[in-house]
């Protein structure tokens, strides 16, 4: 008999006023008793809509059944047939729009806590499982992967299991992509990212860091070196700016640079680490997506007294996950919706002293389907701030397209692919993740990496 509670088993969390001063994880994770209790809420529906909602098709009810029975390693084996990074996905996937969004328990009450159980199972495996030897028969062909984010890691993991020799070339000194340099420690602990990447390396994937494809070596040169196919998962790491006066003043960061300094370089430990990060007392973060929430919550943890989210539309249009908005509010972030920056002003030393803002009202929906903001005449005011962080989106870096003849891209820079195979206009070159879609999600990048791996295998095996 299913547990008909309308609510998920609550997730234990650090107190908001404690956690906004430290970088430890906000959500503390289920105990095994909590996971087993939540598992009994699953109805194991016949048509399994949750599986259809998952971009990598994890057999969700099957893993939940194992959790309910206390067979956590069995549950891990079920999940990892389709998803090599469950500890990451259990933490950062927008389950509310995917698997949980399709759960029938969500029609009347809260959906089953699929993400929370996935996280529990992955953490349990890391803490308890014994290492097993994997023997994969090699097929003698080698494939190159550009970029070690979720798209690249997934593609590499799938191909190594099919017998290819796989080398991933990563521009930064650490693998992980946004998982390492973007998403903060308090949402996604970095030792856990490292462990999930290690599990793919243990299968035999070779990761070469500090290699910028397009500078150190080109895609054509990789093909000449004997790689039979190349998968490009180079992400969308080029920040967009507002193009307003004052964006070059001291104290203005792109969210990308700010988060990289803190996450990857551990800037908050300066001078123990060589890369400083300076945050003032009053910080304005422009934008209202996940990146903006991460930047605002990070600034708060670095000691800012007032942190504002400045967003030109209303809360309803904010693209961040509901959970992230909720956590940011709990931690004392101040939201200024329907406020659009017009200029950034500096003091006599060239350091930010305020941001001029024009209040907005919403008009008709635009091409994105969201109501477009329009300025309210005469509503300009100055917000006193000493740091500005711009988080209004990213595009793919142009380096790959500039150095790869025959690779077709969209006007905004995204690589064009055949959606069935992820193959690009260039023979045997495939692409997926943010470099194709623009900034999206971890699981969509993983889904693209998986699809490309299957297509590469088909082509190279002449199927």
CA 280 to CA 145: how far, in whole Å? 40
Q: Is 259 among the residues that bind ligand FAD (CB under 6 A)? A: yes
Q: Is 100 among the residues that bind ligand FAD (CB under 6 A)? A: no
Selected binder of ligand FAD within 20, 80, 340, 397 (CB under 6 A): 397
Instruction: Choose the stretch contacting ligand FAD; rule: CB under 6 A; options: 1-9, 171-179, 358-366, 413-421.
Output: 171-179
HEC assignment per residue over the chain: CCCCCCCCCCCCECCHHHHCCCCCCCECCCCHHHHHHHHCCCCCCCCCHHHHCCCCCCCHHHHHHHHHCCCHHHHHHHHHCCCCCHHHHHHHCCHHHCHHHHCHHHCCCCCCCHHHHHHHHHHHHHHHCCCCCCCCCCCCCEEEEECCCHHHHHHHHHHHHCCCEEEEECCCCCCCCHHHHCCCCCCCCHHHHHHHHHHHHHCCCEEECCCCECCCECHHHHHHCCEEEEEECCCCCEECCCCCCCCCCECEEEHHHHHHHHHCCCHHHCCCCCCCCCCCCEEEEECCCHHHHHHHHHHHHCCCCEEEEECCCCHHHCCCCHHHHHHHHHCCCEEECCEEEEEEEECCCCEEEEEEEEEEEEEEECCCCCEEEEECCCCCEEEECCEEEECCCEECCCHHHHHCCCCCECCCCCECCCCCCCECCCCCEEECCHHHHCCCCHHHHHHHHHHHHHHHHHHHCCC
Selected binder of ligand FAD within 317, 331, 434, 457 (CB under 6 A): 434
Instruction: Choose the stretch contacting ligand FAD; rule: CB under 6 A; options: 16-24, 35-43, 125-133, 438-446.
Output: 438-446
Using CB under 6 A as the binding criterion, the count of chain residues that bind ligand FAD stands at 41
Selected binder of ligand FAD within 20, 98, 199, 441 (CB under 6 A): 441
Instruction: Choose the stretch contacting ligand FAD; rule: CB under 6 A; options: 42-50, 78-86, 211-219, 336-344.
Output: 211-219
Selected binder of ligand FAD within 53, 111, 182, 287 (CB under 6 A): 182
Instruction: Choose the stretch contacting ligand FAD; rule: CB under 6 A; options: 130-138, 404-412, 420-428, 436-444.
Output: 436-444
| Residue closer to ligand FAD, measured from CB, 105 or 174 | 174
Q: Is 237 among the residues that bind ligand FAD (CB under 6 A)? A: yes
Token duo for residue 181:
């340099």
Residue in the structure block whose two tokens are 């017009």: 342
Instruction: Choose the stretch contacting ligand FAD; rule: CB under 6 A; options: 191-199, 219-227, 306-314, 440-448.
Output: 440-448
| Residue closer to ligand FAD, measured from CB, 263 or 360 | 263
Selected binder of ligand FAD within 203, 399, 454, 460 (CB under 6 A): 399
Residues 6 or more apart from 435 whose CB is under 8 A from it? 147, 151, 232, 233, 234, 235, 236, 396, 400, 414, 415
| Residue closer to ligand FAD, measured from CB, 99 or 259 | 259
Identify residues 140-169 at the interface with ligand FAD (CB under 6 A).
Answer: 146-152, 169
CA 330 to CA 339: how far, in whole Å? 21
Strand partners, 389: 253, 285
Instruction: Choose the stretch contacting ligand FAD; rule: CB under 6 A; options: 75-83, 124-132, 170-178, 268-276.
Output: 170-178
Selected binder of ligand FAD within 144, 178, 388, 455 (CB under 6 A): 178
| Residue closer to ligand FAD, measured from CB, 5 or 275 | 275
Selected binder of ligand FAD within 25, 158, 170, 457 (CB under 6 A): 170
Q: Least separation, in Å, of the C-beta of 442 and ligand FAD?
A: 4
Q: Is 214 among the residues that bind ligand FAD (CB under 6 A)? A: yes
CA 346 to CA 122: how far, in whole Å? 48
Selected binder of ligand FAD within 80, 234, 339, 387 (CB under 6 A): 234
Please check whether residue 341 is in contact with residue 327, taking contact to mean a CB–CB distance below 8 angstroms.
Answer: no
Q: Is 414 among the residues that bind ligand FAD (CB under 6 A)? A: no
CA 71 to CA 330: how far, in whole Å? 36
Selected binder of ligand FAD within 433, 450, 452, 453 (CB under 6 A): 433
| Residue closer to ligand FAD, measured from CB, 150 or 341 | 150
| Residue closer to ligand FAD, measured from CB, 35 or 171 | 171
Instruction: Choose the stretch contacting ligand FAD; rule: CB under 6 A; options: 5-13, 62-70, 229-237, 329-337.
Output: 229-237
Q: Is 442 among the residues that bind ligand FAD (CB under 6 A)? A: yes
| Residue closer to ligand FAD, measured from CB, 207 or 357 | 207
| Residue closer to ligand FAD, measured from CB, 20 or 441 | 441
**Which residues contact ligand FAD by CB under 6 A?**
92-94, 146-152, 169-172, 177-178, 182-183, 212-214, 233-235, 237, 259, 290-291, 294, 397, 399-400, 433-435, 439-443, 445
């Amino acid at each position: 008999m299913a547990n008909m509670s309308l609510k998920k088993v609550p997730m234990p969390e650090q107190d908001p006023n404690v956690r906004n001063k430290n970088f430890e994880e906000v959500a503390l994770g289920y105990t095994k008793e909590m996971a087993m209790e939540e598992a009994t809420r699953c109805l194991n529906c016949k048509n399994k809509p949750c599986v259809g909602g998952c971009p990598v098709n994890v057999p969700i009810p099957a893993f939940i059944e194992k959790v309910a029975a206390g067979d956590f390693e069995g549950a891990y084996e079920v999940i990892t047939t389709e998803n090599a990074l469950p500890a990451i996905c259990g933490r950062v996937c927008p389950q509310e729009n995917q698997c949980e969004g399709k759960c029938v328990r969500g029609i009347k009450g809260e959906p089953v806590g699929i993400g929370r159980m996935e996280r529990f199972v992955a953490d349990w495996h890391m803490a308890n499982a014994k290492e097993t030897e994997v023997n994969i028969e090699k097929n003698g062909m080698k494939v190159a992967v550009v970029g070690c984010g979720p798209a690249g890691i997934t593609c590499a993991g799938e191909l190594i299991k099919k017998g290819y020799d796989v080398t991933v070339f990563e521009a930064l000194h650490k693998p992980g992509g946004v998982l390492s340099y973007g998403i903060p420690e308090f949402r996604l602990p970095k030792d856990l990212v490292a462990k999930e990447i290690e599990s793919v390396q243990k299968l035999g994937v070779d990761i070469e860091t500090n290699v910028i494809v397009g500078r150190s070596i080109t895609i054509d040169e990789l093909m000449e070196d004997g790689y039979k196919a190349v998968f490009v998962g180079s992400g969308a790491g080029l920040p967009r700016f507002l193009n307003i006066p004052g964006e070059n003043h001291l104290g203005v960061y792109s969210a990308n640079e700010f988060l990289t300094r803190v996450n990857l370089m551990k800037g908050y430990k300066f001078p123990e680490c060589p890369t400083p990060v300076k945050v003032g007392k009053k910080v304005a973060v422009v934008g209202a997506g996940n990146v903006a929430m991460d930047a605002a919550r990070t600034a708060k943890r670095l000691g800012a007294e007032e942190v504002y989210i400045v967003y030109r539309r209303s809360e309803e249009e904010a693209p961040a996950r509901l959970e992230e908005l909720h956590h940011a509010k709990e931690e004392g972030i101040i939201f200024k919706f329907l406020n659009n920056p017009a200029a950034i002003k500096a003091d006599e030393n060239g350091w930010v002293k305020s941001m001029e803002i024009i209040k907005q009202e919403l008009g008709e929906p635009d091409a994105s389907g969201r109501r477009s903001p329009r300025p309210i005449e005469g509503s300009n005011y100055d917000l006193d701030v000493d740091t500005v962080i711009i988080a209004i989106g990213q595009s793919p870096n142009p380096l790959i397209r500039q150095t790869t003849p025959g690779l077709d891209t969209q006007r905004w820079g995204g690589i064009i692919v055949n959606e069935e195979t992820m193959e690009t206009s260039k023979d045997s070159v495939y692409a997926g993740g943010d470099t194709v879609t623009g900034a999206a999600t971890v699981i969509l990048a993983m889904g693209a990496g998986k699809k490309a791996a299957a297509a590469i295998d088909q082509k190279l095996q002449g199927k």
